[in-house]
Amino acid sequence: MKVAIYCRLSEEDRNKQFETDDSNSIQNQKAMLLQYAMEQGWELYNIYSDDDYTGSDRRRPEFNRLLADAEQHRFDIVLCKTQSRFTRELELVEKYIHGLFPIWGIRFISIVDNADTANKGNKKSRQINGLVNEWYLEDMSDNIRSVLTNRRQNGFHIGAFALYGYKKDPNQKGHLIIDEEAAAVVREVFSLFAQGYGKTAIARMLNDRGIPNPTEYKRLHGLRYQQPKMKNSTLWKYFAISDMLINEIYIGNMVQGKYGSISYKTKQNKPRPKSDWYVVEGTHEPIIERELWDRVQTLIAQRAKPFDIGTIGLFARKARCANCGYIMRSSKNRGKHYLQCSNRHVAKDACIGSFISVDKLEQLVIDELNRLSAEYLDKDELEQNIEFCGNLQGQKERLTADLTAYQKKVAEYSKGIRELYMDKVKGLISESDYADMSRGFSTERDRLERVIADGEKQLAELDEKIAAGDNRRELIEQYTNLEHLTREMVETLIDYISVGKRIPGTKDVPIEIHWNF
């Protein structure tokens, strides 16, 4: 029997002298698990070890490598110190330990809490372990959120990175002090804008002088910074100047909570309404004087272009520069609308400068749509070549299978509640333990019942779409022989369009359309 050992260490139980060292806790886990495997006579396949990761982080690199190897059945057993080292999420306990591992022929064992999928009798204890770990995650998340909210309300800086122009005070946690070298650039940006320079012009001036943008400045000075996602990340951009000019932190006010996490189970964030931000005045020394700030805000308000509610550019956020990947910005000249790369004016050689008129791009898209529709309709191969709605029958089969699995889990939770009640009646567990455990089962069962109800509605909608499946030719004919596009058509049909630079000596601009079908 081949065994895979999995170890995990969280920040709270970390104990290292150097970043590259394995922690004492990891070493202890490995020693314990290797000793156990040797006593059982198992052959070691590999040791998978994630350091400084929580049990709710699904992006753990070694954890995901373990799962990939398990699916290939490169070993027979997964061995951990405790079930929580593998995961603290009940959903993943059910998905892998009770779901996919048996299908893949993998046995799961955790030593300390006696979890062993070869022993069917302790499945309930594994589920209870999963619930307890889930409650631990939720309680810990609530406690952390409460502490952070309190610190935000009291004006303490809690971010991982200090705003450009400031740095974290080494003598006072949660306090910002001015970084004079960067602050000089901030003052210059505000002064230039107050003198009438535009945001793109200011970015170009800074780039021409070789002044690094905020991310590059922090990297060069050994400060913490967020890893950039785009090319040309060392250059100042229009949006960096724009965001700087409206940030109240530069006048001494602490502004936090602009984004909030979706759930304690994910690190994804979403914007929060301005009314929910935490703003505390006078928490640190200002870089920008109030008089200059007010003058800049007045100019920004005066320059703001009026916006007609309900209108939006035909290719808004759909056209990207083929060279640098940035969203192309719209402009207007002599009554005609154009799209241009937002990088083309910020510095010399920053980008090839993709440029195209909206009318020309619209015609290119229409020509390609007409070509595609004519090809499929003329060959009478619509049903074979284009599957609208992502293969409705396949969606129905997957949804039906999911609903069956959910209904099975609901039955298991109901059975678990009944068994817990019998254990309470027999005196095997106390009244308070029964209340805690059954509450967790009931909550999960109720959640799954709501999921099932939603799924059944989706199933009914799919049946209606399948019944109307013969009108697919009618649907595509809506986009045949077009003369103009609408924003609705663009949104429905196009994911994005990559626009290149005009071919020298011609009027041709190469484009690549990424369709939604």
Domain at 180, CATH number: 3.90.1750.20
- Predicted confidence at residue 166, as pLDDT, reads 93
Q: Given a cut of 60, is residue 498 above it in pLDDT?
A: yes
Instruction: Examine the domain organization and report whether 165 and 288 are in the same domain.
Output: yes
Closest C-alpha among 241, 249, 244, 240 to residue 286: 249
- Which comes out higher in pLDDT, residue 122 or 390? 122
Window from 167-171, 220-224, 495-499 with minimum mean pLDDT? 220-224
Q: Is residue 276 part of a domain?
A: yes
- Predicted confidence at residue 347, as pLDDT, reads 62
Cβ neighbors of 360 (< 8 A, separation 6 or more) are: 509
Q: Given a cut of 80, is residue 187 above it in pLDDT?
A: yes
Window from 220-224, 228-232, 462-466, 507-511 with minimum mean pLDDT? 228-232
Instruction: Examine the domain organization and report whether 173 and 280 are in the same domain.
Output: yes
N-to-C CA span, the chain: 47
Q: Given a cut of 60, is residue 397 above it in pLDDT?
A: yes
Residues 9-59: tens digit of each pLDDT? 875 454 444 444 445 567 888 888 999 999 999 999 999 998 878 777 788
Q: Is residue 325 part of a domain?
A: yes
Instruction: Examine the domain organization and report whether 359 and 502 are in the same domain.
Output: yes
Instruction: Examine the domain organization and report whether 174 and 274 are in the same domain.
Output: yes
The model's pTM is: 0.45
Q: Given a cut of 60, is residue 385 above it in pLDDT?
A: no
- Predicted confidence at residue 48, as pLDDT, reads 94
Instruction: Examine the domain organization and report whether 497 and 349 are in the same domain.
Output: yes
The segment with the largest mean pLDDT, out of 53-67, 390-404, 412-426, 467-481, is 53-67
Instruction: Examine the domain organization and report whether 215 and 341 are in the same domain.
Output: no
Instruction: Examine the domain organization and report whether 326 and 183 are in the same domain.
Output: no
Instruction: Examine the domain organization and report whether 292 and 329 are in the same domain.
Output: no
Instruction: Examine the domain organization and report whether 364 and 425 are in the same domain.
Output: no
Q: Is residue 137 part of a domain?
A: no
Q: Is residue 440 part of a domain?
A: yes
Residues 274-297: tens digit of each pLDDT? 888 888 999 999 999 999 999 999
Instruction: Examine the domain organization and report whether 284 and 332 are in the same domain.
Output: no
Q: Given a cut of 60, is residue 363 above it in pLDDT?
A: yes
- Predicted confidence at residue 290, as pLDDT, reads 93
Mean pLDDT of 71-75: 94
Confidence of residue 245 (pLDDT cuts 50, 70, 90): very high
Q: Which of 256, 273, 303 corresponds to the end of one domain?
A: 303
Instruction: Examine the domain organization and report whether 184 and 35 are in the same domain.
Output: no
Laid out side by side, the sheet with 336-341 consists of: 328-333, 336-341, 355-357
**SS3 for 44?**
strand
**9 phi and psi angles, rounded to 5 deg:** -130, 135
Instruction: Examine the domain organization and report whether 467 and 489 are in the same domain.
Output: no
Both tokens of 322, joined, read 């083929």
Q: Is residue 34 part of a domain?
A: yes
- Predicted confidence at residue 77, as pLDDT, reads 95
Q: Domain tally for the chain?
A: 4
- Predicted confidence at residue 517, as pLDDT, reads 61
Q: Which domain holds residue 214?
A: 154-303
Closest C-alpha among 129, 99, 126, 180 to residue 406: 99
Confidence of residue 474 (pLDDT cuts 50, 70, 90): low
Mean pLDDT of 489-503: 85
CATH number at residue 62: 3.40.50.1390
Q: Residue 309: count other Cβ atoms within 10 Å of its Cβ.
A: 4
- Predicted confidence at residue 79, as pLDDT, reads 94
Q: Given a cut of 80, is residue 369 above it in pLDDT?
A: yes
Laid out side by side, the sheet with 494-499 consists of: 319-321, 494-499, 511-515
**501 phi and psi angles, rounded to 5 deg:** -90, 145
Confidence of residue 353 (pLDDT cuts 50, 70, 90): confident
- Which comes out higher in pLDDT, residue 479 or 343? 343
Confidence of residue 185 (pLDDT cuts 50, 70, 90): very high
Confidence of residue 466 (pLDDT cuts 50, 70, 90): low
